[in-house]
Amino acid sequence: MDRSHRTDVVVVDDHVLVREGVREILEAEKDLTVVGEAGDAAMAVQLVAERRPAVVLLDVDIPGPGAATTVRRMLAASPCTAVIIISMFDGPQLVRALLNAGVRGYLLKSATKHELVAAIRSIRADRTRLVISVSRESLAQAVDPGAVTLSERETEILGLTAEALSNTQIAARLQLSEATVKRHLRNIFTKLGAVSRIDAVNRAVAASLIVRRDGTP
């Protein structure tokens, strides 16, 4: 295929095996070619500035100042480049922050190679298109932060967390296994975009999802 009809891609991931695997997937396609690889944010920004690729595949956990900052620096250096995030996480706050930074795509690492290739082609074909492959709940919350809801059990567990009970104590109080409590807390963290138990409680209180035991809103 003529070079002018090929889509140049830069792959950014701090794991060499992952980069090699993605390169192998993309270069099996006649219209895609990998023109560079980077293992950290600084190298990625420099490479994008030099190569000005059509597409960047960016691992959300790349070493550096954070994915959103890295995206902004890439787009400042090469405004026509489309950035697609590759991530294991789909927390709504993370998705929202990256969409605000200007990414054109957000794919989970559970995506198939066919989904990856299709996303690149779709974004390349239409400069206004976004390709977002996350849970429906996360997408709704990313678009509308007020859409966060907790189940009755999640509300119950977070209320007990707000009382400073440990996972073991919560499990005993609710007659659940500790593993079940941990699973619910992971779901709560994802929904609220929280990074700790205290952060989750504070976010839930601020969103009026729970009320502290003393009645403080």
Termini Cα distance of the chain: 63
pTM of the predicted model over 0.85 = no
Is residue 216 in a domain?
no
**Domain's final residue, options 107, 142, 177:** 142
More confident residue, 22 or 144: 22
Q: Give the pLDDT confidence of 166-187 residue by residue, as tens digits.
A: 999 999 999 999 999 999 998 8
Number of structural domains the chain divides into = 2
- Domain with 152, as residue range(s), is 148-206
Q: Give the pLDDT confidence of 88-131 residue by residue, as tens digits.
A: 877 777 777 888 889 999 998 888 999 999 999 999 988 878 88
> Mean pLDDT over residues 139-154, rounded?
68
Q: Which residue has the tokens 């070619």?
A: 33
Q: Which residue has the tokens 């270069």?
A: 27
- The strand pair at 7-12 and 55-59 is best described as parallel
184 plus 119 within the same structural domain: no
48 plus 87 within the same structural domain: yes
124 plus 33 within the same structural domain: yes
* Sheet (strand 82-87) strand order: 32-38, 7-12, 55-59, 82-87, 105-108, 131-133
**Which two three-digit tokens encode residue 188?**
């709560």
130 plus 168 within the same structural domain: no
